[in-house]
Chains A and B, each alone.
Chain A
């Protein structure tokens, strides 16, 4: 089956209405951050990044996760990321090396999820975004520590997060509702906040 090269890659039901085009545009750079870099306030950026990747993966496309040695892969599978189409490069090498790895992967896959191992120079960030655009690949940067200095085309930020299900000595982490803020260039210039239930409870609206 030949997959047409669509301009907008699919997003999951949970996120589609929060994204300006209903999905992420090929060749763009999306930065996913927590509410403030380096802090755990409103955690959930990893889950949000996985959910963005899941939409693409469910569309039948190939994805790669670079620099995420501690990624919860079972969690990725639960979010419907197809493990058989997810390339994992947990240790992409030191300075200079990982830029080459990313550039190479843009040739091979449709979406790359990247967690910078250290601060990224503006010039490098710009070059990588340009390369992704040239190859029509999606770059999603999971930036938990404020290492990616360029604004990117789209920014997705978790602004509030609340778990339910856990009590004092009983229960289980079950559901979670977060608020995400999407902002960026062009259609998304005005920041837009939406409430999303990141762990479906199977209940109707």
Chain B
């Protein structure tokens, strides 16, 4: 029994996890996203329901099909139970996405008496945890082992242990669609290449020329090689960032907020050096010295936003999951006082080059001439570009600079600003916010106390006669006390996000007792 390469991986896969999490996996059920099926239960599949079907098609195949909307937070939160079970086999367990986690094969295989034995024990442990969540008839968890994480994920679908050195041969008959990148799959299809084996035989130069960096990466996967890009040899200092909190915090949103600042700093340290990371280690400790540390992996390099997502999911699972409720060992009994993020698998970020070129490029004469003519038609200040600026409100975060004036940034935009709404940013920002009346269920105007508590849940917005809207979801208020040190510029505002019945989403701001729509997410 060979031990395989350095990255020989075990993958544990719980099929149809979103339906297990929703408690519907034993009935015909499916998850819809943008009107299409993205997951379904085995009973649904046996009736003919398939992924990517539209809602109507699925209903026609299986009348009585139960639909659930996507809830990634719930999927991750419940999956924590399985991850904890797997973590007992190796502290280096890594969550790829809800339903799939992986760990290195070498150490655990040696300890548990071989890969077959390991696979059997893992399957049992993970399935046991899955049954706690989805009931005793939830699908059993499948284990796959192979030389690369990519091959191991595919091996898990068939509960296979691919012998060491055989990854390429085992992958060869699989269709190129398993690469998971639609554009590459389509292009290969047009070239008459339908199987990974055929793709693997293509010349590297041709792949690079026609498919670019992404194509090269996929090519390595198809050949059974690791998808790890050239990883830097020496770990860099500064790849870890942490914050100790004076007062313990047990609200996930608050921690996510703090983590957002850490993530932005870490992301900018990386990008400032032209680097990116595809693994992230998130550690959280409580006042009573309970700890939860997890590795997370992403296919594309982590952005600050995707880092914060992982922190939120990890803590939601830990603080609010079944383990916490049951008082299991290791479950938190007090608030969090330490958060640490560490970047792993740091590689040069090839996607940055374009940005650098753009920044140093000078406007061509063509652009200058066009601008001059527009200024002649409309005036000097009529045309310009924008620079990022510091500030909390959606309006202040960007500044317009008339053409010809220096594009110096006013305030560093990368520093986290307390009170600033996290991304995604709204696509429409009203220079003059639209006044609106916000009422709760009983028709009373919604107010916000000094401590930031709303007097009631916002239920209806009134813009004018005949223009009333129902609020279906909301969050906040998030108070911001801006420039309190400057009497002239001091502003106290509270903001909320609301989703209306017509599917539109907006930012509401309260200032001086009056509500207005500050921005919309069109």
Contact = CB atoms under 8 A, between A and B. Distances in A.
Interface of A is mostly: mixed
B370 A166 contact: no
Nearest to A34: B522
B370 A107 contact: yes
A89 B505 contact: no
Contacts of A88: 383-386, 400
Contact of B503 (A86, A162, A204): A162
Contacts of B367: 62, 87, 108-109
Interface string B369-381: 1110110011000
B386 A73 contact: yes
Interface of B is mostly: mixed
Nearest to A198: B424
A185 interface: no
B344 to A, nearest CB: 15
Nearest to B178: A205
Q: Which of A46, A91, A162, A172 has the most CB of B within 10 A?
A: A172
B182 to A, nearest CB: 5
A118 interface: no
A104 B182 contact: no
A91 B383 CA distance: 9
Nearest to B187: A22
B253 interface: yes
Contacts, number: 230
Given A74-B398, A89-B382, A100-B377, 15 more contacts: A40-B504, A43-B502, A47-B427, A59-B354, A62-B367, A72-B394, A72-B519, A74-B425, A77-B398, A84-B359, A85-B361, A92-B378, A107-B366, A163-B505, A166-B499
B415 interface: no
B228 interface: no
Nearest to B384: A88
A111 B46 CA distance: 49
Contacts of A44: 522
Contact of A166 (B70, B357, B384, B474): B474
Given A172-B497, A179-B35, A195-B34, A70 B431 contact: yes
Interface string A132-173: 000000000000100000000000000011111111111111
B407 interface: yes
Contact of B429 (A40, A70, A93): A70
A84 to B, nearest CB: 6
Contacts of A108: 366-367, 369-371
Contact of B373 (A83, A104, A170, A179): A104
A42 interface: yes
Given A13-B183, A175-B72, A179-B34, A87 B428 contact: no
A91 to B, nearest CB: 7
Given A88-B385, A100-B377, A45 B306 contact: no
A87 B383 contact: yes
B298 interface: yes
A83 to B, nearest CB: 5
B340 interface: no
Nearest to B399: A73
Nearest to A205: B180
B464 interface: no
Interface string B478-515: 00000000000000000001011011110000000000
B102 interface: no
A17 interface: yes
